[in-house]
Chain A
Amino acid sequence: MISSRKQSGHHKAVDLTPMIDVVFQLIIFFMLTSHLGQLRRTEVDLPVQPGQEQRDGEDAAMIIDIGPGGGYMVESIEVNLNEIHRLASAGIGKESEPANFDVLIRPDRNAPAVFLDRLLNKLAGVGVTRWKLGTMAPDGSGGG
């Protein structure tokens, strides 16, 4: 076959199909891996507010969920305030600048504020200064 091409004087045709194949595979790989952080999140009935769009790749250092009954969860595991204190202390210790340690709190919209207050008092005790309240975009809202 090669010899016949050489004989007819044609250039070797570049087959684009496998290249497109590989490019798509790579795109899908990177898209999936960048969304893994969001897939990890548990389902919470968040307050409905437009808020600000969460920037890709700028995940919070710590994500804490507050259930409707006031239970705290970190990475789908129920934890108490003392454990949160320990986790936050360890996280802050790893940061060169403690102010860079920001916490995303994903509360159930009907949970009483007292549970948010208890959590924030605990976090403030270890030096957390910035936090974000997770919200759900209202239906049809495009930007925030």
Chain B
Amino acid sequence: MARKRFKRGSHLGALPLTSMIDVVFLLLVYFLVTANFAQQERDLSSAVQAEGGGVRVSDLQPQIVEIVLSNSVVEFRIASRAVRSQEALVGLLKSLPKEPGVAIRARRDVPISAVAAAMQASQDAGFSRRSYVPADE
């Protein structure tokens, strides 16, 4: 019946163009909103451990990672051992017991990117107890 009517009026069929454009634009906006043009931000969680006190999660002494600048190169020190790359630090931390946790502290001139590297390394090595020890003034 509908076909008959269209043939008679020589129309191809009345498409509701306004609504279609409406939906097409909405789809466009939807994909623009959901597309992430900026880089995704992440985070590294840690506890704050004031020197000589603060948060104590275990009776065991945590492994201390000290970050220093040696000849303008970042160096990560654990006891007497020192490494200069994040990968080497991960390897070193993996060989240590995880139960006591890890405490990170940095010398005042060290860039914060090195602190982030140490936090990432301790996370990658499997330490769930991570804390940062800010140096006293």
Q: A residues near B, CB below 8 A?
A: 17-18, 20-21, 24-25, 27-28, 31-32, 35, 38, 41, 46-54, 66, 102, 104, 106-121, 123-124, 128-137, 139, 144
CB atoms of A137 and B111 under 8 A apart = no
B residues 1-38 touching A (CB-CB < 8 Å): 16, 19-20, 22-23, 26-27, 29-30, 33-34
Q: Is B59 an interface residue (CB 8 A)?
A: no
User: Distance in Å from the Cβ of B50 to the closest Cβ of chain A?
Assistant: 5
CB atoms of A136 and B41 under 8 A apart = yes
A-B contact pairs, 9 of them (CB 8 A): A21-B23, A38-B41, A52-B45, A121-B134, A124-B50, A128-B48, A132-B45, A133-B116, A136-B40
Q: B residues near A, CB below 8 A?
A: 16, 19-20, 22-23, 26-27, 29-30, 33-34, 39-48, 50, 54-55, 67, 106-117, 119-120, 123, 132, 134-137
| Alpha-carbon distance between A41 and B40 when the two chains are bound, in angstroms | 13
CB contact under 8 A between A124 and B30, given known A104-B43, A118-B137: no
CB atoms of B43 and A132 under 8 A apart = yes
CB atoms of B113 and A123 under 8 A apart = no
User: Distance in Å from the Cβ of B110 to the closest Cβ of chain A?
Assistant: 5
User: Distance in Å from the Cβ of B16 to the closest Cβ of chain A?
Assistant: 7
| Contact partners of B42 in chain A: CB under 8 A | 49-54, 134-137, 144
Contact of B110 among A104, A113, A132 (CB under 8 A): A113
User: Distance in Å from the Cβ of A5 to the closest Cβ of chain B?
Assistant: 12
Contact of B134 among A50, A104, A107, A120 (CB under 8 A): A120
Given A109-B112, A117-B106, A124-B134, 8 more pairs with CB closer than 8 A: A17-B16, A28-B30, A53-B40, A106-B41, A114-B109, A116-B115, A124-B48, A133-B45
User: Distance in Å from the Cβ of A80 to the closest Cβ of chain B?
Assistant: 15
Contact of A133 among B33, B67, B119, B136 (CB under 8 A): B119
| Contact partners of A117 in chain B: CB under 8 A | 106, 108, 134-135
| Contact partners of A32 in chain B: CB under 8 A | 33
CB contact under 8 A between A114 and B108, given known A17-B16, A28-B26, A47-B117: yes
| Contact partners of B134 in chain A: CB under 8 A | 116-121, 124
